């Protein structure tokens, strides 16, 4: 009851502040069990996470791309081709950020996920990951 009185006294003072208004709504919702609850953000499927990860990679947001790609794998990408695609982009990220051992590991993971995994001619010629890819593919 005291909290309700305090809120009623503070509301006129704080009505111009959007953050405070949101906090007040949250407090009211906590007090009133019948108050409408905010809808939870829909969860993304593994394939949606993969698509978002590739887009983040293409935008140069390597940290975000890495998190999304790893999440897509953790969520269980249903096809082996797309699993290999996620590993490929992780390998690219590791190679361009000078982490050759992780790059090699992700290329190995891509081959394990899909025995038909290959890079395009343009991709395999890349100076950062091309040599690592060729080294891993020769060992198969």
pLDDT digits (tens, 9 = 90+) for 118-140: 999 999 999 999 999 999 999 88
In a domain, 39, yes or no: no
Residues of the domain holding 11: 2-31
* pLDDT score, position 56: 98
* pLDDT score, position 114: 97
* pLDDT score, position 102: 98
45 vs 1 pLDDT, higher one: 45
Q: Kindly state the average pLDDT of the residues 38-53.
A: 84
pLDDT at 20 over 60: no
Residues 17 and 70 in one domain: no
* pLDDT score, position 140: 83
CA 130 to chain centre: 25
Residues 75 and 134 in one domain: yes
* pLDDT score, position 139: 85
Q: How many Cα atoms within 13 Å fall on the side-chain side of residue 125?
A: 3
pLDDT at 16 over 60: no
In a domain, 24, yes or no: yes
In a domain, 41, yes or no: no
Question: Residue 33 and residue 31: Cα distance in Å, rounded?
Answer: 6
Residues 75 and 133 in one domain: yes
75 vs 140 pLDDT, higher one: 75
Average pLDDT over all residues of the chain: 85
Residues 13 and 64 in one domain: no
- Tokens (6 digits) for 37: 């609850």
* pLDDT score, position 4: 54
What total of structural domains would you count in the chain?
2
- Tokens (6 digits) for 118: 């290959």
Residues 69 and 8 in one domain: no
Distances (CA, A) of 14 to 9, 19, 20, 38: 10, 9, 7, 22
User: Model-level pTM?
Assistant: 0.70
């Amino acid at each position: 009851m005291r909290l309700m009185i305090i809120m009623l006294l503070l509301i006129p003072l704080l009505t111009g502040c959007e953050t405070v208004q949101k906090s007040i709504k949250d407090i009211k919702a906590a007090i009133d069990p019948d108050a409408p609850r905010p809808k939870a953000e829909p969860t993304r499927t593994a394939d949606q996470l993969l698509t978002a990860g590739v887009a983040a990679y293409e935008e140069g947001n390597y940290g975000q791309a890495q998190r999304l790609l790893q999440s897509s794998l953790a969520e269980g990408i249903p096809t082996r081709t797309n699993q290999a695609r996620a590993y490929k982009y992780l390998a690219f990220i590791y190679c361009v950020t000078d982490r050759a051992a992780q790059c090699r590991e992700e290329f190995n993971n891509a081959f394990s996920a899909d025995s038909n995994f290959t890079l395009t001619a343009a991709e395999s010629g890349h100076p950062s990951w091309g040599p690592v890819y060729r080294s891993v593919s020769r060992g198969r």
